[in-house]
Chains A and B, each alone.
Chain A
């Protein structure tokens, strides 16, 4: 009630200050008669008064030089003060601004406007809702970043493993070539007549029985090349075993050699 009276009084004083003009005569009469009407003051008629800040304009009061709001709430942005007025109340805003050092009041005013707008947009959660959403987003991105970085490390490990494997294959190829050449020479010296080729059926089980030891890394072998390789390894089984320890199947060893040759030449 008292506030309403004050408002009315302020309004009445404002009207009295305006130069008398026929256009406002009726308004003045209404004010005197006690009828509450808010008539917009047309531009140009306020030339005799200082332009009030957004706060004083909203509160309909005189904007003094020491007004705590005027430096931070321009009359051109009335919505800013309207927001903080509704959420915090003018007196609370005034107190909060005065509690802060003068050099920081601009930031304080802006943060109050930001907070008030969030509260008006989301009356239930306000700032807390924005904070919660940001935290979830950060958590999600952090999880995705961890996944991508793990994948990168996996590729780096594979790259290192491949390089090591290629080096081993190259060394193995050289050694195998040397041994193979020597064996071929010995075989040719002993077995000169060329007998007819035998049927391929009984070779696989014989190879399996002759090579019981399991290898640490068995290479991939193909059936047809294995048959050809198996005949050669069978004739040289003793020499082969004495010279080096092949994987359980000489076929696999030869197949690996062939693969190595392919890899070396291909990459060249």
Chain B
């Protein structure tokens, strides 16, 4: 009797004004210092319903169950119309909006990625042209170099479309072109002489 009277009842038994038995199902989860927690749960779910619910669970699961019941009871008392279902509805709305935004962003990204593929194709073709030049023999390389020399001149002449053959028929223009052809060989010769001098 003495020991029994000295035991503090749990918040549930205190609220319900009854003796707190050693096997009380509420005691581990509703300590005396949290009376509001049980009051909320009791008001929304009812003590008998909570007892049944807890008895159906494995003891290791009861703490989580009590905490979720307390949360739902608190939300229900804050918002008597929607309770925690209002929170769920809000989250579902946010989720739907995010899915729309993500779909739009992925669509935009796919456009850039397809453009990237085209750009890569261009670069690849360019590299192939240069590689072809590199693979040729020395003579072929020189010819290739001569061929490229026509492009800058065409640009300087304002995109002149006259064929190369016609260029040789022109008097002054033809002389200039012939001189241009001889220039690389002369440069090469000069370079050779400089190389021989040190040795």
Contacts and interface: CB of A to CB of B under 8 A. Distances in A.
Nearest to A139: B98
For the side of the interface on B, what is the size category? 35 or more
B49 A88 contact: yes
B33 interface: no
A191 B191 CA distance: 12
Given A111-B83, A124-B57, A225-B141, A144 B192 contact: no
Interface in A184-223: 184-185, 187-188, 191-200, 202-203, 206, 222-223
Of B84, B105, B188, chain A has the most CB atoms within 10 Å of the CB of: B188
A124 to B, nearest CB: 5
B78 interface: no
Contact of B49 (A87, A129, A177, A235): A87
Contact of B192 (A86, A198, A257, A258): A198
Given A180-B152, A235-B190, A126 B68 contact: yes
Contact of A265 (B95, B106, B151, B186): B151
A188 B180 contact: yes
A123 B190 contact: no
Nearest to B68: A128
A135 B156 CA distance: 66
A97 to B, nearest CB: 9
Contacts of A229: 145
A138 B95 contact: yes
Nearest to A104: B81
Interface stretch (B5-13, B16-24, B128-136, B165-173): B128-136
Contact of A134 (B95, B131, B153): B95
A115 B83 contact: yes
Contacts of A224: 133-136, 138, 141
Interface residues of A, number: 87
Interface stretch (A16-24, A36-44, A67-75, A146-154): A146-154
Given A231-B184, A231-B191, A107 B105 contact: no
Nearest to B66: A124
B3 interface: no
A156 B111 CA distance: 11
Nearest to A232: B187
A232 B141 CA distance: 14
Given A148-B105, A184-B183, A235-B190, A177 B152 contact: yes
Contact of A108 (B56, B80, B134): B80
Contacts of A177: 152-153, 155-156
A191 B130 CA distance: 30
Interface of A: 86-89, 91-92, 96, 99-100, 104, 107-108, 111-112, 114-115, 119, 123-131, 134-135, 137-138, 141-142, 144-145, 148-149, 151-152, 155-156, 159, 162, 173-174, 176-178, 180-181, 184-185, 187-188, 191-200, 202-203, 206, 222-225, 227-229, 231-232, 234-236, 257-259, 261-263, 265-267
Given A177-B156, A224-B133, 6 more contacts: A141-B98, A173-B155, A198-B192, A234-B190, A234-B191, A262-B130
